[in-house]
Structures are given as structure tokens and as C-alpha cells.
Chains A and B, each alone.
Chain A
Amino acid sequence: MQEGTLPKLLVRNAARYGEKVALREKEFGVWQPVTWVEYLGHVRRFALGLASLGFSRGDKVAIIGDNRPEWVYSELAAQALGGVAVGIYQDSLPREITHIIDHCDARIVVVEDQEQVDKLLEIKSEIPKVEKIIYYDPKGMKNYRDLLLLSFEEAEAQGEKFEDRNPAYFNRTVEEGRGGDVAIIAYTSGTTGLPKGAVLSHDNLLAMAQNLLEVDPLEPGDEFLSFLPLAWVGEQMMSISAALWSGMTVNYPEEPETVQANLKEIGPRVLFSPPRIWEDMVSKVQVRLDEAGWFKRRVSRAFIPVGYRVADCQFEGKKPGAGLRALYFLGDLVVFSAIKDHLGLVNLKRAYTGGAALGPDVFRFFHALGVNLKQIYGQTEIAGISVTHRDGDIKFNTVGRPIPETEIRISEDGEILSQGPSVFLGYYKNEEATREALKDGWLHSGDAGYLDDGGHLVVIDRLKDVMRLTDGTIFSPQFLENKMKFSPFIKEAVALGRDRPYVVAMINIEMGNVGMWAERNQIPYTTYVDLTQKPRVLELIVGEIRKANGDVPEAIRVKKFVVLHKELDADDEELTRTRKVRRGFISEKYRVLVEGLYGAAHEIPIETEVKYRDGRQVTLKTSLRVVPVANAEVKA
């Protein structure tokens, strides 16, 4: 590796690509380009602004905000001075923010806007190590007089003054950077307990970028849309490390709500999203097709099976016959490309999913459309990726083969272990956890899995989440949940059954789609709660679960379920920040429901506390119907 650090790569790119577009942000309805030279200029000015505040080697800057160029400038500026960037999810609760800022010893916090400034000023006394809060959206900030505050613009202006006095400072500190320096601390959202800070060096990140791009090259001019939290290692991987390594263009959406429209405008060459996003797209397409006129519906129904057949051929490594290929060509012309265009996937060279398991049905669906969707498997602790599919060697039940320089091994009790140049340095200020994660020099993933005959890795589930029924049958709740979530009407599913005679589920309906379905079928409803308990809605969901049960072994089919009266929410700690269900917490919180589901009850009364983001609490009281599923009779 020649360049050594991320800021050095930026300097190289500014020299190599100069006036080419490095970043683009949509503002005031127009895509505003930033060239590589301008990119470096912002990073230099902001870095020197930080330097003028006394920020130096080894110091930490915490960053909270939506994806904007300023987020990335802040990270690279800190690193240019030999410092460390710590991303924080923008929807974190004050308690979590306090913990991370204080735990990582941040001297500077960069935030997006007034909302976050308010949050931080509220917890000011609990984050005494913070010396400055720098915000980049000045809206509503006019009358703030707190001495802690500084605007991004002022910081850059101070940086310019600093540069007049110390013209060589920036280049010198960038030069002094070493690959072994800490680049970021990524706090893992963690399904249990307080988040842990994974320390990753520049070498870790750059080795990851190099190895990933060796498998799947990207080049200058390739477009990427950055819309997932930059605090997530997956987003860091693509929009910082891989982007700097390859010179591709990173686009920042206007607002989180406009992502879908922006995706269509940009037509990216590469995309990396957790399963949730792909699942959303499938539901949207299904609903759109259901609502289309009869002609469109007939045509798409005729061609989608053709897509599936071609996809299945590819999964099996066979070449589809000439007739099938011709049909597929036609299907692409009239159906598939239209759907892809609608979703903004038409220019994709490849797309990745990672962070959690993606249902095989969703996977097949995208391949049927001709989207080259691949799994990425990895942990924050290995810079985000250790395993991925190779083009033309994709099996939807596996996550692919290790990337170069990376080794995968399965421990005796079935845990996936990995080794390679991207394995992290350890958890920040947590030696015990570090020792546990890095036993015998291998990174312990906590995932259960195995390698198949082709050397592909198959991930079963979290080691601790693989469950046994009372009769000893092993099952993976996540697998069942993904099956159920393939339905456009089911948003979230929680499967339970540890040490129980059979599997039960709690369901969240997809409000948008079920609401529309209810309207079409003239079912009047008032609130979300009301809609969830409508007999016809329950009938609809039973049908969906029966489908999901279809190809699952009899013993582990979902036998009963309730439709929850509220959406599972990260603010109520029922989901992690990356929207994984926290099964343990949920089964504790809704213990009444679980007991009811394993009893003879037909209806379970329930009270729930709901926390609003401003800290208020209200209690919801209602009663939920227990619904048995017909193709999975409970044995007496």
C-alpha cells in the first residue's frame, strides 16, 4: 500500500482528478457538484480550523448528522491532523449520545443542525470533555449565544487564518500520518448492552477497500448514493474508503425522505443497503403491480416467472437455453427495465446487501429483474466485510467466499472466525471485550455458520439466537422472520420458541400497504391499533403466514400469532438502530403476550408504555386477538 492514510488518498485524488466531480449534494432542488480540489480545500480549511482550536494528534471528533459533505469533511479533517472520527447515529437517544461522546473522549463534536445542538446543550454537564460544538446548518441558530458553539463556516474561516500563519502545517500533518494510526472508532449498535467502540486503523480500512475493489472494481465517474448513516461501518466502507480508493463520485440526497427520488435521478453504478431497503423495494413493486391496470398486470405476471427461471439457472451455474434467453430479453424490454428504472437501479453494475440476513425470496426477485445483487458478510470489527459473492457465482442461501487476504474458519462449536489485515485493533477502553473478540488471533463473530462444498460461507444465525424447541429441534427465528417479512403486508416479525413446544410470532403490519388494502376492500378503520385487530386484516395476515410456512419443515412452522398494536421502534429499544429486532427484550417486554400465545387464550389484554422522542410517556391499553395458523395445527 503506497498511500497509507485516507487523507493522503484525498491529496492524491485532488492531484490526479483535480476538477472532476468528487461529491454532489442536492440543495435547493439542484445537484451541486464539489470537485476533488474543492473537497480537499474544505478538508484543509476545516482541519486547520480544528488545529486552531487546539485539536491535535490522537484527539477525537464525534460527528452526528445526516449524510452531507460536511460530515465527510469533518472526518477527513480530524484524520488529517492524526485524529480520530467517531460517527454517532443521528436518531440516537440522549442517553446513548452522552455515553458515546463521553466514552470516546471527544474534544469536538460536529453536528448537523439546531435539533442536535439542543440535544447536546441539554446534556452539556454530562459531556465535560467537549470543548466545542460545531454545527453546519445555521438555520434557527441566530440567537444562540453559548460559548461552546461555532458554525462550520466560522471554523473554516479560522482555518484560513491559521493557514496564513502556518502555511505548511496541513501538508506536514498529513505527511506524518501512518497507516497504523487509528482512523475511526465505530460504535456498534449492539443487540445487548451499551455500544462498544471498535477501533479501526487506516490500514484496516484501506486493506478492506483494496480487497473489496479487487473483487469488484470501481472507477472514477462511477456514481454512488450515500444515504445510510455514516456512523454505520457499511456506509464508511463505500462512501469514504472505497470512494477515496477508487475515485468514484459520491452523491448526498437532499433529505432522508427524498432518497427514493434521488436514487432515480442519480442512477448509481453501485449500491449497498441493509435488507430493510431491499425488502421495502419489493413491497413497493408488488403493490404497484397489484394496482396497475389489467394489461400491465397480465404482462408483468407473464414475464416475472421467466425472470425467476433465468435467475435460478444462474444460481445453479447453468446457462439458460436460447429460447429462455430470448424470452428474457423481451421481458427485460417491456417489464424488468421499467421496474428497475422506477427504483433507480437501471445503471447498477452491482448491488450489495449486508448487515443482516436477506430473505432468499427477495434475493431471487432482484436477480429475476437482472439486478446483480450480492451478499456482503462481515462485522464492524473487520471493517465491514470479510466475505462476498463473486459475479457469476452467486448462491442465495450463502454469503459467498472470503475476499482476498482474508481467511474464514469455523470453530468447533460452529462459530464463524476470520483473520486478515482488516481485523480491528480492539474495542476502545474495553480490554476484556477485545480479548474475547480476538481469542487465539481470530476474530470471533458470534455467528453460527458453515462452509459449503464450493467454499461458500453459509450463515445460520447469531450463535446465541439459534434456538431449540422443547423436543430439541433447532431453528433460526431470523430465518422464519424473513420468510414472513417477504409479505408486503408484514413490516416486522418476531418469531419465538426457545424451550417451548412450538413456534409463535408477533407481527407488525405494514401500515401503508394494509391501509391501502383495507381502503380497496372497503374496510373502515380509525387508528393503527384499530386496523391491526380488524378480523379481515387478521385473515389477510393468516394467509400471508400460511404462505411463509409453506416450505418450512412442519416442526418449526409458526403455529399462532398476534398482530401487535404498535410498531416496534428503536426509541422503545425494541429494535436496534439498524432495525434488527431485539428478541430478548421484546419477549420480556411483551411477556403477557408470549404467555397468552402458549396458553389457550383467544384474546390477550395488554398495556404498553410508549416513549416519545421528547421524553414523554403514555400508556396504551388494548386487547389483541390470538390467531391460529391452519397449515400448522398445534398437536394436542
Chain B
Amino acid sequence: MAPQLVIDTLTLHFGGVTALSGVYQEVNPGDILAVIGPNGAGKTSLLNCISGLYRPSAGRIVFEDREITNLPPHRRAQLGIGRTFQNIELFKHMTVLENLMLGRHIHMSQGLVSGGFYWGRARREEEVHRRRVEEIIDFLEIESIRHKAVGTLAYGLQKRVELGRALALEPRLLLLDEPMAGMNLEEKEDMARFILDVAEEWGTTLILIEHDMGVVMDISDQVAVLDFGRKIAEGTPEEVQKNPLVVKAYLGKQ
């Protein structure tokens, strides 16, 4: 199977600081890849390189046989790469529904004028998108908060809405930056199930950064371990768990 995404010896410098150094990683379609590592290991930098927020200093990124290293973020979104952020990035004063509809905007073709009049094509298009958004609402079980302003929701629910916003884009590759940070156990379990269902039912490839090792071991197919900008290990969760380098990076030298 050809990999869907190839991260080819990526290096990223910030002035004198090396955030990523020669990272190589392949991701197969439909897989869940967890990126783990201590604080400052370069996990978010890696995600930012894939989504286009950062330009790597060296190396290339190939998505579905197409080099995207120098494409701006919105072009990558159009190609099918979606993401969520470590800190929730939603419009707090808008409702859940409006936030999700916004997530559809790259699929909308009607311009300002026809959209403003809300006639014919524009209206039909809106209905198609609304249907798709309603499927996501159903999928994430957030019917009861459909019309609530995002800012009034509990943190765990906001995270869920953010996932919904990313899903509204219908990405083929979804990047999740700490989707379960700050959640209680029950919320984490719910989120883990949604992530598994996204991969299973929609065949979406997922790359996620996560600190909860229990979750990582439970849901990921592959794990990549970063330490000081270098990839020090990769493999199935079981393999990585036993790797002495990984143990050392986490526990420090004896």
C-alpha cells in the first residue's frame, strides 16, 4: 500500500533552535498515528509543518503523491488536510451549528452576492451543507447543543465541537493536537470512541498528539516518538513501549 503522507527528512529551525531535525515518517491511509514525546520534543511543530503553518527549513512533505511543502494552509485544507488545535479555536459567540457550517466554507461555491440573496443555487447549496453538518452533529451526539453559543459550553464539549468543525471539512487526513487535554476520564473515553469511529467509518487517516499513554496504546495503529526534534522510535504501541530509548527519553538517564 502506498503511503498517503510522506514526511521526508524534515528539518525546522527557529533562529538557532532546532525544532525538528531530519524527521522521516510515512503514514498509511486509514491509520491512526500517535506522535508522542516529552515537552518541547517538536510534536506540535511537526503538525504545523504538515498543516502549513510552518515552512520547514529542509525536507519535503508529500500528500497523496503531491508535494505540498510550499503550499499555504488553505490550499492544503482544500486538498483534504484538516486539523484541530491544542487550545480551542472556535468562534465563541457563534452557535455550534454556525461554527460547523463555517467549517464547510471551503466546499461552498456561491459568492457573496448570490449568497446574500439566498436564492436558488445558493439556497440549495446551503441545504446540502446543512445536511452534511447534521450528519456530523448526529455522529458526535451533540444534537442538544446545536443552537447553543460555543462559549457557554463545557470544555469537553467544546473540544468535541472543534472536532466536528474539522470533520465538516471532510478531510482525508486529520491532525489532532491533544484532543483530550484537560478532559476527565469519561470525556476521554467518549473522545477516543469518536476518533476510532472517524477512522473506521469514514476511512480518515489520523495523526494525533497525545500525552495520555493509556489512550495512545488503546487507539493508535502506529506510534512515532520524538525527543529534542529527532525521531527516536516508531512502531506499534507494544513495540514502542518496550523500546529502551523511549523509556530513557521519558524517565531520564539512570
Contact = CB atoms under 8 A, between A and B. Distances in A.
Interface in A132-159: 139-140, 142-143
A28 B135 contact: yes
Contact of B143 (A139, A142, A143, A257): A257
Interface in B88-126: none
A139 B144 contact: no
B138 A28 contact: yes
B197 interface: yes
A143 B200 contact: yes
Contacts of B135: 28
Interface in A17-42: 27-30
A29 B200 CA distance: 24
B239 interface: no
B167 to A, nearest CB: 14
B143 A140 contact: no
Interface string B125-144: 00000110011011101011
A140 B200 contact: yes
B143 A255 contact: yes
Interface residues of B, number: 16
A441 B137 CA distance: 54
A255 B141 contact: yes
Contacts of A125: none
A28 B144 contact: no
Contact of B139 (A139, A254, A255, A257): A139
B201 interface: yes
B215 to A, nearest CB: 15
Nearest to A257: B144
A139 B201 contact: yes
Tell me which of A28, A139, A258, A261 has the highest count of chain B C-beta atoms within 10 A of its own C-beta: A28
B129 to A, nearest CB: 12
A258 B200 contact: no
Contacts of B200: 140, 142-143
Given A27-B138, A29-B137, A258 B201 contact: no
Interface in B21-47: none
Contacts of B141: 255
A139 B197 contact: yes
Contact of A254 (B143, B193, B201): B143
Interface string B165-204: 0000000000000000000000000000100110011000
Nearest to B147: A261
Interface string A249-273: 0000011011001000000000000
Nearest to B201: A142
Interface string A609-627: 0000000000000000000
A261 B144 contact: yes
Contact of A258 (B130, B139, B143): B143
B146 interface: yes
A28 B201 CA distance: 18
A143 B137 CA distance: 22
B183 to A, nearest CB: 16
Contacts of B196: 140
A114 to B, nearest CB: 8
Contact of B144 (A27, A30, A255): A255
A582 B139 CA distance: 37
B201 A140 contact: yes
Contacts of A261: 144
Interface string A227-255: 00000000000000000000000000011
Contacts of A254: 143-144
A259 to B, nearest CB: 9
Interface in B44-66: none
Nearest to B146: A29
Nearest to A259: B144
A563 B219 CA distance: 41
A140 B137 CA distance: 15
Contacts of A258: 143-144
20 contacts: A27-B138, A28-B131, A28-B135, A28-B138, A29-B137, A29-B146, A30-B134, A139-B197, A139-B201, A140-B193, A140-B196, A140-B197, A140-B201, A254-B143, A254-B144, A255-B141, A255-B143, A255-B144, A257-B143, A257-B144
Interface of B: 130-131, 134-135, 137-139, 141, 143-144, 146, 193, 196-197, 200-201
The 9 closest A-B pairs by CB, nearest first: A257-B144, A28-B134, A258-B144, A255-B143, A29-B134, A254-B143, A140-B197, A258-B143, A142-B200
Interface of A: 27-30, 139-140, 142-143, 254-255, 257-258, 261
